[in-house]
Amino acid sequence: MVDIKVIEKEGDKFAVDGNEKTYRLKLLISDVTPQFLNVLRRAIEEEVRTLAIEDVYIMENSSAMWDEMIAHRLGLVVLNTPEDLSYDQRIVLHLEKKGKGYVFASDIRSENKKVYPVYPDTIIAYLGDNHSIKIRMEAVFGKGKEHAKWKPGHVYYYRLVDLKLKEELNEEEKEKLKVLGVRLRGKNFEIAKDKVYDRTFLDAIYSVARYKIEEIPRDEFVFVIESYGHYSAERILNLAIYELKIMLKELLDFLMK
């Protein structure tokens, strides 16, 4: 039976709601195949719907940047996506600024107060003296497989391993282990608790003497969701599972015809 444990949760100090959302969720998942985790990863990155600016109407732009460049930057602004919105809704936003200085994502005004730029310090453009900008935008729902601006986050996973010593290490190799803060107890490696699930750290140990250390694959994987800010990481996971259920039902209905 699949077993899931939460290893780590983190916010994002640069996000306007960084203390309210989980931006990074690290899970320990056992009794599961890499193929299943890859399906879940693809569902998160390709099937979960988020809000992003799609239509841009530029009424005025006397900045040095072309209209197309500004529209492209606006499309990549991460918008908070409330749970109570329906997928067919269009959210209207406005951007208007005059005078010398930077135009930030925080200058965008939404007609729905629950929809706002997650990273307010994102720079959109720079205005010189007597320059101005006036834009109307519409944000719509979309999927990551249609355009990267709708991707809810970055997802990756890796298999955990146990390390066993096969041959005696020389003094230079032992010194490298000390630098990593790792001690040997017989043929086993003593690793700090906060490093046990860090595959990069385990690889660093293995690289000390790769021909003298054996990697034994475990039936455990670390699955990491790093939200871009539209949703919390937990919400992203729930939505991906929901989309998978819909696709599986459609497949079952097709097979039952």
Q: How do the domains of the chain map onto residue ranges? A: 3-47+153-225, 50-150
From 77, 65, 91, 161, select the one nearest 122 (Cα to Cα): 77
> What was the pLDDT predicted at 257?
81
| Paired strand residues for 50 | 142
Q: What are φ and ψ of residue 64, in 5° steps?
A: -80, -10
pLDDT score for 45: 96
pLDDT score of 42 more than 90: yes
Of residues 89 and 182, more confidently modeled: 89
Whether 185 has a pLDDT exceeding 90, the answer reads no
Whole-number Å distance between alpha carbons of 63 and 97:
11
150: alpha, beta or left? (left if phi > 0; alpha if psi -120 to 50): alpha
- State mean pLDDT over 205-224: 89
Question: Taking 90 as the threshold, does the pLDDT of residue 188 lie above it?
Answer: no
Q: What is the mean pLDDT of the chain?
A: 93
Whether 105 and 15 have beta carbons less than 8 Å apart is answered as: no
108 confidence band (pLDDT: 50, 70, 90): very high
pTM of the model: 0.88
At 190 the pLDDT is 87
> Strand locations in the chain, DSSP E?
3-10, 24-30, 49-61, 91-98, 101-104, 108-110, 123-127, 132-143, 153-165, 183-185, 188-190, 213-227
Tell me the backbone φ, ψ of residue 33, rounded to 5 degrees.
-95, 155
- What residues contact residue 20 under an 8 Å CB cut-off, 6+ apart? 11
Q: Is the pLDDT of residue 241 over 90?
A: yes
Question: 25, 71, 24: which is closest to 52 by C-alpha?
Answer: 71
User: Long-range contacts made by residues 55-61, C-beta under 8 angstroms, separation at least 24?
Assistant: 55/137, 55/138, 55/140, 56/135, 56/136, 56/137, 57/135, 57/136, 57/137, 58/133, 58/134, 58/135, 59/134, 59/135, 59/136, 60/132, 60/133, 60/134, 60/135, 61/133, 61/134, 61/135
Return contacts of 81-86, CB within 8 angstroms, 24+ apart: 81/50, 81/51, 81/115, 81/230, 81/231, 82/112, 82/114, 82/115, 83/235, 84/114, 85/51, 85/112, 85/114, 85/115, 85/141
The pLDDT value recorded for residue 229 is 95
The stretch 238-244 carries a mean pLDDT of 96
CATH architecture observed for domain 50-150: Beta Complex (2.170)
The stretch 96-117 carries a mean pLDDT of 96
Q: Strand, helix or coil at 135?
A: strand
Q: How far apart are CA 169 and CA 245, in angstroms?
A: 51
